[in-house]
Every structure is written in C-alpha cells, then in structure tokens.
Structure 1
Amino acid sequence: MKNLHKSIIVLCLLFIVYSCGKGFLEQKPQAILSEEQLKGAKGVESALIGAYGIMNGNISGTWGNYSSSPSQWLFGEVGSDNAHKGSNSLDQSPMNDIELHRVNPSNDNLPTMWRVYYEGIGRCNLTLSLLKAVQEGSGEKLSDQRAKEITGEARLLRGHYYFFLARVFRDIPYVDETMSTQEAAKVKNDKDVFPMIEADFKAAIDNLPADKPLGDVGRVDKRAAQAYLGKLYLYQKKYAEALPLFQEVINNKPALSTLAFDANFNIKTKNGPEGVLVSQSIINPDGSGDNGNVGDMLGGLYGGPINCCGFFQPTVDLVNSFKVNASGLPLLDGSYRDNPYVSDQGLTGAAKDNYKVNTAIAFDPRLDYTVGRRDVNYRDWGVLQGSWIRDQAFSGPFVGVKQMINVADMDGNVSPGASNITAQNVNIIRLSDVYLMAAECAVETNALPLALTMVNAVRQRAASLPAVKAGSGSAAAQYNVKPYASFPNQAYARNAVRFERRLELALEGHRFFDLVRWGTAKSVLEPFMEFEKKYVAASRTITYTDKNNYLPLPQEQIDRAQGALIQNQ
C-alpha cells in the first residue's frame, strides 16, 4: 500500500520495543534508536508507522499471535455459536476453554492479547509525545495540517487498541502520552475507559480528512473515525447519537449495491471501497511473513494447497442458520435446527467416501462464500475433500472461506515455506457492518422504515452472488435470498437485524461481542451447545453466567502490577 508498507517493514527492524517488567508498560529499548534520535519530523512519521504496525496483531515473529488477531476469531467467533476451535482436542488446548467458557487467568491466550495491544497503545503515546516535542521545539516542524492528521491517526489507532482490550477484559488501565513510565506502572484498572476512547475518536474526527492522509490506502480517515465512534456509542446503547455517524459514513460511500460481497475476501480486490477500517497485510520482500496475516494463520485447511493448520471451523448451527423459507427469508424462529444438514458428519466407509452434497436445500448464497462444505467447490481449489479436515469428529465437517485466498493468487501473497501466512487483509469495520449498525440504531429508536431499508440493502446485494457449484457441476444449493416486505413491529425488526448481522458478518469476529452487548449470550449459547453437542464432540453442556461476558486479566499482569491491577472476576 505504497510507502506505508515499506515503512512498516523498515521500522520493525529499528523501532523501540516495549516489554513488560515491574509494571505492565515498563519500557525497555531493545533496538538502536532512542527517543531523542526519533525527534524530528521523520522521527514522528516513523513512530506513527510503528503504531500502525500493531494493527495486524503482531509485534514480531509469526507463530503465537492468534488471540491478538485483528479478526478476533478466537474470542469473537470461537467464543460464540459460530465457530469451533477446530483442529483436534490436544493442539492449542487452552483454546478449548475459550470455546467452553471456562477460562482461568493463566490461559496462555490472554497475555498475548494484552501485550500486543498495550504495545500498540505505547507506540501511539510515543507518537503523540514526539509530535508535541517537535512542534514546540526550535528545529524542523511538521506543517500544521500534517500535525493535525498525525494527531488524528494516532488517536484513532489508540482508541482502536483500547476498544479491543476493553471489550475482551472490560476493566483495564488507561495510560496516555502525558504519563511517565513510573506513573503508567501504577495506574489502576478501576475506571471506565469508554469516555477516554470516545475522546480519542472525537479528536480523530476533528483532525482527520475525508481522504486518506498522504494518499496511502492503509491509513485511517474521518469515515473510519465516524464509524468507530458510532460503534462505541452502539456498545453503550446510545442509539440516537450513533445513528447520524453511521449515516454520514453511508452517505459518503458508494451504494452497497455497487460493491461485490466477495470482493471483501479476494486478495486481488483488497482495499476496495467497502473497507472502512482495514488491517493491512503484506509478505515482506524477503518472503518473511511477520507483516502478513499472522493472526489467522491457524485457520488454513489441514490439507489442500496450504496444508495447515485446521483451526477455526464453522459450527453446524451457523451453517443451518443460512437456510431460507420459500420467500427467501431466514428462519427467525430457530426452526433452521429442525432436520439439520450435517454434511458427511457421522458417515463411515463407502458412505463417507462417496458422499454427495444435497443440492435441494434452500440456502442463502452467502453460505458458500463463508463456509466450505464437502463436495462443494472451495474457491479455486476444487471440490472440498474430507481429508482437508484434521479431526472431523471433534470439530465438525465445515471449514472457513473468508480468511483464505485463491491458489491462483498465492504467488507473492504467501510466505515461502509457510503458505498459511498470507497477505490477506482483515476488515475490522466494513460498509455492510455500518449499514447493519445503522439498522440496529433505527430499530432501537423505532425508525422501522429506515431499519428495513438498511437490512434490505444488505440482502439485495447478497442476491447478486453467483451460484457456487457442487462436484456434479450443478448449483450446490437452491440459492434464494429476498428482501423483507415489512417490519411489522419493533421486536420482529430487532430479531431480523440481529439475525442479519450473523449471516452477513459470520466468521469476521463480531458475534460473541454482539451477544454480550445485546444481553443474550446466556440465552443463545446454552441452547446452542445442547444442539451442537449432538453432532460435534468439541461441544458440551455449559452453564453461562455474566462473568463469562469478559475474560479474566492475565495472571502475569496481576502479579507484575504489584497491587495496581485488580482481577475483574
């Protein structure tokens, strides 16, 4: 993405790396640049690139950054009714506890999330403090316009990193650029951080232009700030405040009907107009993948062209939720679980070897652009084989599609020797998400005609998707998706909007957080597990309580904070 990618690569070699010592943000320079050396216009720009560098959820290296992935697949999807951890029961076994909502503070996925995003916050704070020093100093200064843009970029990134942490852990310490290292180490986690995140997003709106700063497609802009502030308000149930922000974004973007759904998941069309806030990925010129999509690297199929690693598998429940009635509408009453489609799950011998998909089922076409199914074409890989799943009895018969890339696009877009690391971007906020957040606000403010318009725009776009073929060469389902004729009342509209979010944004990291903010996690997840355990061994009977809405703070951070941090459960 022009100069921004190159700068991230260079800065990863030179940037000051923060690591945890006595306090959760004790700073220890690990490379050759000091803060004094970074002072100056170029130093500020380099520090900002370093702040962007955390958007892919990675500080350095490749393996081990799964819980900090910008897709939030582990917390947002595996923790919901949309996905299983996948693979087998022993590989990355602490992830099983996230799926079953029995996480303890020593779970090794927690500190990764914490360290990575506080590193990002530290880099944003460094950028802002350097900017202040440069602009107030006697040497070379940035233009007033560029200084404003940098302020907006750094504050939006900082707000994003705090938001990701807050919705996972809730009670977190807030540290800004005015604090010394010693002060930061003593900050308690006893305050609501949402007001500070709101201030960051408002500052970003005030300082960012509508166009990408410096013309770099990977940078944040005013529309991203507006969408994110609206999302923050949505989490606080401030629907009247959020709706105008979403409408501003929608009014300044192309009509959704002009944008292809599958373009969001095609590496050839990444950074398209639907992206509102996008985590950039690239394979370095030397083939290394630390700036790639390392957070999703476990989600590759166990077999096939990538052959690693078999995690992040869609649930039977998710797949069946794509069923439609004769009118092309989803089965909002939950009857999609009646006579469920389970692919070849439970079959053995010749019945399994010779399995043919039932093409007579009526599905929303988004299913096969979201989920890979046996005897159905999987991207350009050919018909999906049962051997591409590591332990089907444990994790089910389905695989994800959105995070993968086509075989034809692998050259230059995968890391040599580790083709499960790709240059696929991650949409943190995309336009159809904004439409559906606007629809939710319209429902809650009883503006049902507006909610209907927003939801139907998403559904009408889905209707244009080409049919995916089965192994026989015919369409893999009786594809059908139609707009709603009306929303007769608020309760019906609310159900329709929430269901549409599940279908449109499935496996993109939203689902668990949506259930928590709606207050429906218990009523959804307990019966889901009872249904799913009939077919997939990874599922169990669970008892879900409010404490499961947030994860415990990493025990290592509690220990290092020496009393400053209090466990949130």
Structure 2
Amino acid sequence: MAKKLYSAVFILFILVTVYSCGKSFLDAKPQGALAEPQLANTKGVESALIGAYGIMNGNISGTWGNYSSGPSQWLYGEVAADNAHKGSNSTDQSPMNDIELHKVNPSNDNLPTMWRVYYEGVIRCNTTLKLLSVVQSGGGEKFSEDRAKEIAAEARLLRGHYYFFLARVFKNIPYIDENMSVQEAAQVKNDKDVFPMIEADFKAAAEGLPGDYKKPLNEAGRVDKYAAEAYLGKLYLYQKRYPEALVEFKKVIQNKPALTDLAFEANFNVKTKNGQEGILVSQSIINPDGSGDNANVGDMLAGLYGNSPGGCCGFFQPSVDLVNAFKVGTDGLPYLDGSYRTNPYKSDQGLSGGAADAYKLDTTLRFDPRLDYTVGRRLVRYRDWGVVVPGWIRDQPFGGPFVAVKQSINQSDFSGNVATGTNYLNAQNINIIRLSDVYLMAAECAVETSALGDAKDWVNAVRLRAANLDPVLTGYGNPAAKYLIKTYNSFPNQDYARNAVRFERRLELALEGHRYYDLVRWGTAEEVLKSYMTFEKQYVSASQPAGFTYPDWDKGLPIPQEQIDRAQGILTQN
C-alpha cells in the first residue's frame, strides 16, 4: 500500500499556490515562477492538492510562531476554557495571557496567525479545484472520472475544515470559493453565515470519497468517507440539528471497529499513529534532513522545561480544576455535581523550601485512570522520561504544578521522531476528530432526542475502554493512585444524562482542543468560566485575581486588526 502522502503530506509547495495569502487573503498576489497554465495538468493538480493538505498542521512555513493555529487548538480550545493555563511564565508570549483571561483586543498577535494560516488553506483548496476544472475541460491528459471525483471531494473536505476552524474562532468571516477572482474575493463582506457553504462541502466530500471507506490512492494521510460523515455530523451538532447529526455519527460508528477493541493510549503514541480510531488526523513528520517544519509545530511550546528530555518551553499546563475533575466516588463515577472541588488535590502547589522537598504523593486518592495518561504530576512517571520533578515546570506559582502528556512522545522514540537539537518538536500526529469523540457526539444527540438508553451505551463504551488502561506508576513501581472507573447503570432523566455526557467529553478529550468550543455551543461558557476562575485563582496566579467578566465572545473573537485595516471598510469588526 502506498504511503507517500503520509511521508510527504506537509511538504509545502510554494509553486502550487497560484494565489497565496501572504499576510492576508485580501492582499493576494501571484507567487512563484510558474503561471497557472503551467500547473494545469494532472501532476500540477495532484501537487496543488498536497499543498492543500499541507495546512492541516497549522503551518505555512518555518517552525516558530504557529502556536495559535495548531490543529490541537490548545490555546483557543483549552487555555481559553477551564482545562489549562498558558503556563511558562507571565512575560513569555504575554498576549496569550489575555486569551486565558478573556481580555483579547483586535491587535493580539495570536489572532492574525489563525486567520492567515487557515485562509491560506482555503486558497490552496480553491486553487486545486480551479486547476482540476481546467484540466478536465481541456484537450490534454485528464484524470479518470473516479480520481477527478476523489480530488474534488478531498479539496472540498479540507476547505470545509479550514472554514470550520475559522468560523469557530471568529464566527463572522468572509467566504471565498474557486469561482472568485482575487479582485472579487477582496470585496467579500463577513456578514453571511458560512455554515451552509461548509455543509455543502462536507456533503460533496461524503458523496465523492470512496464508498468503501478506503483512503484515496491508499495513502494513509488522506481524508476518507469517515472524515466527511463525522465532520458533517459535527457541523449539524453545532447547529443543534441533532437528528441529522445522529444519522451521520451512526454511519461512522457502524462501519468502524468497536471502540472497546481499540487502545486509548494508541492515539498518543508516535509508533501507533494512523490507527483505526483516527477519523481526521493532522499528520506530522520529521524531514529527512532532521528539520521540523512538517512536524507538530503548533504544540512545540508545550515541551517540558528545564532538564527534562523535552527541553522547552513549559507552556500548556493543565488546571487544578481539570485534574480534580478526574476524581471518582466509591462507585467509580465522576462527581457530576461539582463536589470534586471539595478538599482539592493540588500536588505540591503552594509549598516551598523544606516542605516542597518533603512532599509525598498520596496514592490512596481515587482517580479515573485516564488522568495520568493526560496529565503529568509530581512523583508520577511521565511516559518513559522518569517521574515529574519541579524543575520540569518553568514557574509553578504562575502556571500550576501539572504538565500535559498527550502531545509528547516517549524518549525511546526520539530517534527519527524529533527535530535535530529540538526534542520538543516531534512527529506526534494530532487527532482533530477521533472515534471516541464521535461516540460522545452521538451520545449528546441521543440525549437531545430523548434516546437516553443509546446515550448511556455510548458513554459506557468510552468508559469501558478506559477501564482497560494499565496503572501509571510512581518512581517506586506502585500505582500512582487508586484507579477506578465504572459504567453508569442508568440515565434516570434528560438533565442527568446531559450532564454525564458533557462531563465525559471533558475527561475523555481533555487537552485535545474541544473544551472551549463545547462550552460556547452549550451556552454555558460564562457560567462555567466564572465558577472556574473563582476556584482556580486560589491556587494558580495565572487565573484572574479579581472579579471576572466574561465578554460576549459567543459571537466570535475579534477580527484581527490588520485585516480590518486592510479591508478598508469591507469587513465588520465583531
């Protein structure tokens, strides 16, 4: 089976992008030495499509600076929610502090990165579709009907994905397609709902991708029918079109292996990436010369600090609140009523001097076993790096006592999977949608359509799978907690079921970029974040020290000021 896309999907072809965004899609100019007619052939179209895939890792070129556009969406999806702190210290990447505290103004430098990168992806998809049309209507070599259909489907799914990422952050965005000239694109306002156009792209992708769910050209990095159906369902879910969403999710669930037959930890192991659970996956590789611009550049700041094997940079630290959410009762179920905050576990936070040195881990606490596959905590083994020590955290009073796990890789796998001299830049793939996410989205739809039994079954499948996790150990070789997880006997009513499903999403998908967007679409962001800030500020100084006022960002974060300025009245600020 051919694997060339997997090993080359993120090679960024400047020449295939006939009109490149540069700093703004509104400021597009022809790029490279080749004109469009020279690319209007089958090889040119395939190269253009590879270039469109190349934006999935949130990077146009280079390595540094692509943090807010990473496919994990750690900054907007987790730091802006109640799951994580920016981490590091207060002065490094200080504009990120404003995202954590919801004080973002239009000049925040994280906003234009997100905007530029994903509009570059849109442009590359549009270029692919335009070139495909020219080739298929011309007199030269053409694609087979099946391959032409696949190419169009791949490009449209990618375009829908890039627009969806933009719409979640900014909401009010201009929509441009392959039929617009550069001049026409520059005049498009951001006053239309783009979800109908995204829906059309996902539907076209589901129709055009192979009906047997095989990858186009049998290449592991390409999108397939699973991705199209799952993403279409997700779009419907965001619109509260629950019955329609459930239809799409059921297609995926029925055609994929049972979740309980798949290993949770395989999703976060560089040796087992592109496994059966992945639905839409951002590919990451280290280039043959050891450079890392095709690696997981969005998460590079999350490398652990100091003398850790990661060696940089101490960002993306899980919150005290998230860690305590993994507590379970004697029944093996989470504390859905919020009482997990009672007598909170905070590791060695707040200790200093001899008290900090003498800290001992309480291994009698009852935790969901997913905790230590998600969060690193002091005196608990972190992958194969050894136990977490204070020196791996840059500024613990500011960012807290915990570190993230899912985006890192085992030290034994560093060879060939980390960039030369930069162990924090690795080849870990990023799951944008994975199967347990689909189970929980299906469960959410089942709750809202009063199918509580189905919702319980899907949640329980996620929990049964987690029960198979091996215990994580301390440095002495004993389990780091009293790990316990059980299934629900019943969902007695809709409110209980809704709470259970939402809580399960937090636990299963923690630090994978979903949380803030979930809170917004549920309409609970203000309530949850005010409560979280009140709790968290007792322990971590990065949290709001005074009264917290949640802005009306359900309508979207600010449009980058640079885009407003260049648009000269075309774009309207949120």
TM-score (norm 2): 0.97
**Cα offsets for 1:34-81 (capped at 9, x unmatched):** 222111111110000000000000000000000000000000000000
Q: Report the equivalent of 2:133.
A: 132
* Equivalent residue in structure 2 for 1:560, among 545, 566, 571: 566
Distance 1:7 1:477, change over 3 A: closer
Conserved 8 A contact 2:378-2:402: yes
Moved more, 142-151 or 299-308: 299-308
**Corresponding residue of 2:86:** 85
Deviation at 1:12, TM superposition (A): 3.2
Counterpart pick for 2:380 among 363, 373, 376: 376
Structure 2 counterpart SS, 1:278: strand
In structure 2, which of residues 481, 484, 490 is the aligned counterpart of residue 486 of structure 1? 490
Corresponding pairs, count? 568
CA shift, 1:381, in A, is: 0.3
> Percent identity between the aligned chains?
73
Provide the residue aligned with 1:280 in structure 2: 283
Distance 1:25 1:92 in 2: 27
Query: Aligned letter for 2:478?
Result: S
Aligned match of 1:214: 217
Matching residue of 2:436: 432
Q: Distance in 1 between matches of 2:461 and 2:555?
A: 31
Write out per-residue CA displacement over residues 248-306 of structure 1, whole angstroms, 9 at most, x where no aligned residue.
Answer: 00011010111000000000000000000000000010111111000000011013111
1:423 aligns with 2:420: no
Distance 1:30 1:396 in 2: 45
Deviation at 1:29, TM superposition (A): 3.2
Whether 2:277 is the aligned partner of 1:262: answer: no
| SS across alignment from 2:25 | coil
Decide which of 537, 543, 551 is 1:539's aligned counterpart: 543
Alignment of 1:233-382 (within 5 A): 233-303=236-306, 304-382=308-386
> Residue 506 of structure 2 aligns with which residue?
502
Question: Residue 194 of structure 1 aligns to which amino acid in structure 2?
Answer: F
Could you tell me which residue of structure 2 aligns to residue 228 of structure 1? 231
Cα distance change on mapping 1:382 and 1:18 into 2, 3 Å: farther
Deviation at 1:355, TM superposition (A): 1.7
Amino acid at match of 1:253: K
CA RMSD, Structure 1 to Structure 2 (Å) = 1.3
2:154 alignment counterpart: 153
Of 23-32 and 475-484, deviating more is: 23-32
Deviation at 1:341, TM superposition (A): 0.2
Deviations 1:98-124 (A, max 9, x none): 000010000000000000000000000
Letter in 2 for 1:150: I
Residues in 1 aligned to 2:451 and 2:331: alpha-carbon distance in whole angstroms: 24
CA contact 1:73–1:509 (8 Å) conserved in 2 = yes
User: What SS does the corresponding residue of 1:381 show, helix, strand or coil?
Assistant: coil
Equivalent AA in structure 2 for residue 229 of structure 1: L
**Cα–Cα, structure 1 residues 354 and 23, in superposed 2: closer, same or farther, change >3 Å?**
closer
Partners of 1:121 and 1:108 in 2: CA distance: 21
* Structure 2 Cα separation of the partners of residues 450 and 387 of structure 1: 46
C-alpha displacement of 1:13: 5.6
SS in 2 for 1:424: coil
1:169-184 map, 5 Å: 169-184=170-185
Structure 2 segments unaligned to the other structure (5+ residues): none
**Closer, same or farther in 2 for the Cα pair 1:19/1:90, shift >3 Å?**
farther
State the match for 1:530 in structure 2.
534
Which residue identity does 1:560 align to in structure 2? R
Relative to structure 1, is the Cα distance of residues 7 and 306 closer, same or farther in structure 2, using a 3 angstrom cutoff?
closer
CA contact 1:267–1:405 (8 Å) conserved in 2:
yes
Q: Does the Cα contact within 8 Å between 1:250 and 1:434 map onto a contact in 2?
A: yes
Compute the displacement of 1:423 (Å).
0.4
Letter in 2 for 1:516: V
- 8 Å CA contact 2:63–2:293 kept in 1: the answer is yes
Q: Which runs of 5+ in 1 are unaligned?
A: none
Q: Which amino acid aligns with 1:186?
A: Q
Secondary structure class of the residue paired with 1:84: strand
